Structure 1
């Protein structure tokens, strides 16, 4: 059985340098990122990390895709404002 993970990271309204250590660790560990375009763009992702950005009105489809990827063994991060 493959075990994946799904973490929700809130970026908040503040300076990106003020991200909590827990949120920063989740971003470092994740392979795939789901979220609204501007939220994903606030992250400095590595070349091996994949973006799955979508419009703000696509929450259900985005959540479903993130859950399916995590259930399949992926290390997934859902980014929120």
Structure 2
């Protein structure tokens, strides 16, 4: 499994418990086991939830109605920033 696929699975697992629709990143925090310190790792890539929020930045299209739409944008922003 590629790092992208592994991270996608981790993001879905972490964010699927959020109360959708989510209007901003703060709506996602209750779903994360360690809040903004929650870590996601695959191969040589390790990011915290706070790193994701920073990298997503202006690429975010809040509100998100589904976990898949959110994760698609997170993955896309990580690719744009050359993490993946």
TM-score under structure 2 normalisation?
Answer: 0.30
Give 1 or 2: higher strand fraction: 1
Q: Which has the higher contact order (CA 8 A, sep 6+)?
A: 1
Which has the greater radius of gyration?
Answer: 1
Q: Which has a greater percent of helix?
A: 2
